[in-house]
Chains A and B, each alone.
Chain A
Amino acid sequence: MTGLLAVAVPAALSIRLLAALAAALLARRPRICRWVALGGSVSASLLTAAAALTVITSRAPIEGLLFRHDASGMVFSYAITPLSAWFLVVLGLIAVPVAVYSVEYLAHAITSSRTAIVGAAFNVLLGSVEAVFVVDGVVAFLCAWEVMTLATTVLVAIEHEQRPSRQAAYLYLAMSHVGTGCLLAGFLILGSHAGSLAFPAMFAAPELPGPLRHVLFVLFFVGFGVKAGLIPLHVWLPEAHPAAPTNVSTLMSAVLITAGHYGLYRVCGFGLGVPDQNWALVLMFIGMLSAVLGVLYALAQTDLKRLLAYSTIENSGIVVLGLGAAMMARANGQLALASIAVAASLTHVLNHAVFKGLLFLSAGSVVMANGSRHIEGYGGLLRRMPWTGLSFVIGAMAISGLPLFNGFPSEWLTFQALLLGFTLTGGFVRLNFPVAAAALALTSALAAVCFVRAFGITFLALPRSPEAAGADESPRLMLASQAWLSVLCVALGLFPGVAVGALQGVMASLPGLEPMASVADGPLGITSGIGSFDRVVPAMLGVAMIGALGAAGLGLVRGAAVRRVRTWACGGELTAQAEYTATAFSKPLLMIFKAVYRPRREVDTLVEVSPYFPHEVRYSTEIEPTFERYVYGPLVKTVVRAATGMRVLQAGSLHTYLAYVLVLAVILLIWLGGTT
């Protein structure tokens, strides 16, 4: 067994490649193709997750060789460090249920002629994310990073007959390549400074002098920030995540953004020496901005998958806020505090993956049953899809940060890090911490509004469309995946100490952290780590609530039969038209935050006889896409204008091109001649 785990990474990558190849070859036999591709994916995920778990428990990294080319001297090696292991475990926890879900989902929701390409790309995507987490050299990392981007693009563009899908894929590709370009530049600068392209040597190299260090930080922050979906680099995310098939959206929201977080941790947080205080401020500010704006935009969506995509931006912001607090603590020499903030942020990576995975899979069931992503057309689905409804409400409560579910412990830890940051650091800088805490409180409260709305409008009351009235519950395998993630949501909420305890090894491995501040308090509880600042045992609250519920039940048992009556509708017949809509539900917040949304609405009244008897009223509302319009609009325009200007150079004449070569050669000769 240990022998197998030692070669788990090459083995898993080979399984994925073989599965992808087999899927491509079995394109004519969709049923077998699904089982081969997804079965291969499950076994590979289990293998890497098992290897990662042994790394976390034993704290000894697994290292090895992936590929060696003697003639060119190129060596691709890998190392599962405890940090990589944490991300691999998160990946495995999500990838297995998603693959199981996909077996049925692909059969029902994807045309059978595309099963092969989805199955193959699914494996390639997961394999490249695994490679991103484990390789320890620049070349291999950038290759894996690029394959990850391309595999995702294929999956986003799978419904390429539709214009929005193509546009989303194009936007994703463009944004990703801006990010990759930044990474390439950053790695080249760092590599030439360190004299090596291997990660351990690069990150252990002495700090770069002066402003170059800040340039490096910015390059890496932008490069990884694009993948993490941080505002203002997020514009691709709400387009690409909903466009992909839902099983892929799940992977993108739960797993793919963690590749960005991994990079931020590996390089910006712990790779460039002791972080500068200003970097930490940037991370905290961008984290706050992403969290608050992410949830505000999520609130305004009426497309269920877009709503979830914006909420991914929100949670990515919370993760980065935690990392920013850790960097701030490290910049101020508070190492114990830094380890608490890291624990908060990494736990949130795990918890977000679990609850967002659950929400996306449940949303996938809903979209499949309704044939639409429009939330206003749903309603009353709880009767038709009881199990999907149950799993969605569990995910909704988890994402709202409510105790007993898994969103609570990580938000709790983030609060601890921020509040302790306020007490432990000095000067004006400390005021950032309570501001961030207030922003986090606002974020989680708004998330609750957002998910009361998403669950209530989708699953409760009367169906608003014939599709919703006739929706069918998903097949068993899909429900099993949802059930597994629901159980995880509750288990991680009731036993927060288990996840946080496992992090101990990860924190010990990160440079410059003081692993002494243990935040686990048995399996049931977590503490703030420093002094007796705070401690929480959600299970105790659970027992108290069950006690109160039992007492209330005893008081209520009287044997009286429940009388069922029609809902009072002001004297009329209650129809779906009278129900509160999702748009109406979030209207007050839209009005209150109109400085952010800048909503535009149009009301058209069609009259035939008299203006007092409208024949039809049309209402349309739209929020302004601020970043798209004011940041990216001018940017794209400038780039296009510059490209048009440069067209003069590209005249299409061979003679001109030869002249360019000649001129360049002469210049180079003069320049080089001057140096020798």
Chain B
Amino acid sequence: MIPDPFFTMGAAVLHAAGMLAMAPLLKTVIKKMKARLQNRYGPPLLQGYYDLAKLLRKEPVRSETASWVYVAGPRVYFAAAVAATTLVPVLFAWAPLEDAGGILLLVGTLALGRFALATAALDTGSPFGGMGASRDMTIAALAEPALMLGLFASALAAGTMNLGVLVRGLVEQGPAWHPSDLLAFAGLFVIVIAETGRIPVDNPATHLELTMIHEAMVLEYAGPDLALVEWASAVKELLYLTLLVNLFMPIGIATSGDAGAVLVALLAWTGKVLLLAIAVTVTESTNAKLRLFRVPELLSVSLGLAFLALAIRFL
């Protein structure tokens, strides 16, 4: 849209910084809402930032057996999550690096981060790392086809795989809410739950060896390394929710740079992400965690929904 490389670069930096700044807040808000549902007060709203600040200040502690792979893991994971944000439109109907690629690059980038972290988890020799890596990769492998097919359903309806072009098309055409959107949304919501490690797939609040998945994978990390992992996971969660709201509820997205439109977009985005966060919280609070071997059934439901979405849209 705007070919000036300096503008693109500046926009990408601001965009990524904004997502980095907002991500810990989302995590805390969900925690807080969950606590309220359980009649607890929950942490203060800024707890996410306090935690990160504390971890970043700590002394880096690493295992004796760990090699450079262990050090690279969180860094690649973080870089991939942050770079992925620049591919997705957030406030504007335009993503700063949308020229770099679309849906496939986004999925690939997140897979790159996961590959790095799962490999690093095997590096300390602790059985927990291997267990976590194995489970995390297993669930991701089953979730990826459903995620892709769900995104393809929207992309094929719009005739483009580029998220920027896709969102602009949606904004132009206005919300249609074709029944297939509903199915694709439901399918993708399940995937977002799985990919962000929430109940009923994974429990982010436990360190119990039998149930933990993502937490087992990063169990050995401490200090600044852990801060990077936590922060990147939060960014990923915010990214998934943003993707979902902008693909299926493209209301209020700014198409120009004037202050009024941006303000509206900011409010609309906050409101929509909050709505989805409430949905995530309610799902988490009202469900029990599934056995690991029941998760594939859930994911295949999601795959089926995405396939149905494609079928009823085009047949």
Question: Which of A402, A416, A565 has most B Cβ within 10 Å?
Answer: A402
Cα–Cα distance between A434 and B118 once the two chains are bound (Å):
29
| C-alpha gap A547/B64 in the complex (Å) | 30
B307 within 8 A of partner (CB): yes
A441 and B145 in contact (CB under 8 A), knowing A540-B97, A563-B59, A574-B126?
yes
Nearest CB to that of B81 among chain A residues?
A548
Question: Could you write out 10 A-B pairs with CB less than 8 Å apart?
Answer: A408-B108, A452-B115, A452-B118, A461-B124, A536-B100, A549-B76, A551-B82, A562-B61, A579-B127, A580-B133
A140 CB to nearest B CB, Å: 43
CB of A434 within 8 A of CB of B100, answer no
Considering the complex, which residues of chain B in the window 98-114 have a beta carbon less than 8 Å from any beta carbon of chain A?
99-105, 108-109, 111-112, 114
A574: chain B residues within 8 A (beta carbon): 65, 125-126
Question: In A545-563, which residues have CB < 8 Å from any B CB?
Answer: 545-549, 551-553, 555-556, 558, 560-563
Say yes or no: B141 contacts A449, CB within 8 Å. Answer: yes
- Say which one of A115-123, A313-321, A502-510, A581-589 lies at the interface with B: A581-589
Q: What would 15 more interface pairs be, CB under 8 Å, given A547-B13, A567-B126? A: A380-B65, A382-B67, A412-B105, A438-B149, A449-B141, A459-B69, A541-B105, A552-B82, A556-B228, A562-B60, A569-B126, A574-B125, A578-B125, A579-B127, A587-B134
User: Known: A544-B12, A564-B62. Contact between A534 and B101, CB under 8 A?
Assistant: yes
B42-50, B151-159, B275-283 - the one binding chain A: B151-159
Please tell me if the beta carbons of A567 and B293 are within 8 angstroms of each other in the complex: no
Please state if A545 and B145 are interface contacts (CB–CB under 8 Å).
no
Is A402 a contact partner of B108 (Cβ separation < 8 A)? yes
Kindly state the separation between the CA atoms of A439 and B307 in the bound complex, as whole angstroms.
12
**Tally of contacts, chain A with chain B, CB under 8 A:** 262
Q: Does A246 contact B (CB under 8 A)?
A: no
State the CA gap A586–B137 with chains docked (Å): 10
Q: Is the beta-carbon distance between B83 and A544 smaller than 8 angstroms?
A: yes
Q: Which of B26-34, B160-168, B196-204, B247-255 contacts A (4 or more CB under 8 A)?
A: B160-168
A457-493 interface code vs B (CB 8 A; 1 in, 0 out): 1011110000000000000000000000000000000
Set B100, B122, B137, B314: member contacting A541, Cβ < 8 A: B100
**B224 partner residues in chain A, CB cutoff 8 A:** 556, 558
Identify the B interface with A (CB < 8 A): 12-13, 16, 56, 59-65, 67, 69, 75-76, 78-80, 82-83, 86-87, 97, 99-105, 108-109, 111-112, 114-115, 118-119, 121-127, 129-131, 133-135, 137-138, 140-142, 144-149, 152, 155-156, 159-162, 165, 220, 224, 228, 292-293, 296, 303, 307, 310-311, 314-315
Complex: chain B residue closest to A299, CB-CB:
B141
Whether B62 and A563, one on each chain, are in contact in the complex, defined by CB atoms closer than 8 angstroms, is: yes
Chain A: CB-nearest residue to B123: A460
CB-based nearest B residue for A439: B145
> Could you tell me the distance between the alpha carbons of A544 and B106 in the complex, rounded to whole angstroms?
13
Complexed CA–CA distance, A451 and B142 (Å): 16
Binding site for B on A (CB under 8 A): 380, 382-383, 393, 397, 400-404, 408, 412, 415-416, 419, 422-423, 428, 430-431, 434-435, 437-439, 441-442, 444-446, 448-449, 452-453, 455-457, 459-462, 528, 531-538, 540-541, 544-549, 551-553, 555-556, 558, 560-569, 574, 576, 578-581, 584-589, 591-592
Cross-chain contact of A412 among B65, B86, B104, B165 (Cβ < 8 A): B104
Q: Is the CB of A403 within 8 A of B97?
A: no
Nearest A residue (CB) for B112? A402
By the criterion CB–CB under 8 Å, are B228 and A548 in contact? no
- Evaluate contact between B63 and A566: CB separation under 8 angstroms: yes
| Chain A residues with CB below 8 A from B130, complex form | 456, 579-581, 584-585
Given contacts A548-B16, A552-B79, contact A461 B60 (CB under 8 A): no
A88 to chain B, nearest CB (A): 30
Contact of B159 among A408, A423, A452 (CB under 8 A): A423
Of all A-B residue pairs in the complex, the 8 with the closest CB atoms, nearest first, are: A580-B130, A456-B122, A540-B100, A534-B161, A461-B125, A536-B101, A548-B82, A445-B144
B311 to chain A, nearest CB (A): 7
B61 closest partner in A (C-beta): A563
What residues of A have a CB within 8 angstroms of the CB of B16 in the complex? 544, 548
The reply to whether A438 and B303 contact each other, CB–CB distance below 8 Å, is yes
Q: How far is the CA of A545 from the CA of B16 in the complex (A)?
A: 11
| Complex Cα–Cα for A461 and B62 (A) | 13
- In the bound assembly, the distance between CA atoms of A546 and B105 in angstroms comes to 16
Neighbouring B residues of A402 by C-beta, 8 Å: 108, 111-112, 115
Q: When the two chains form their complex, are residues A567 and B65 in contact, meaning their CB atoms are under 8 A apart?
A: yes
B105 and A403 contacting across the interface, CB-CB below 8 Å: yes
User: With contacts A422-B156, A544-B100, A580-B129 known, is A383 near B56, CB below 8 A?
Assistant: no
Question: Once bound together, how far apart are the Cα atoms of A569 and B64, in whole Å?
Answer: 13
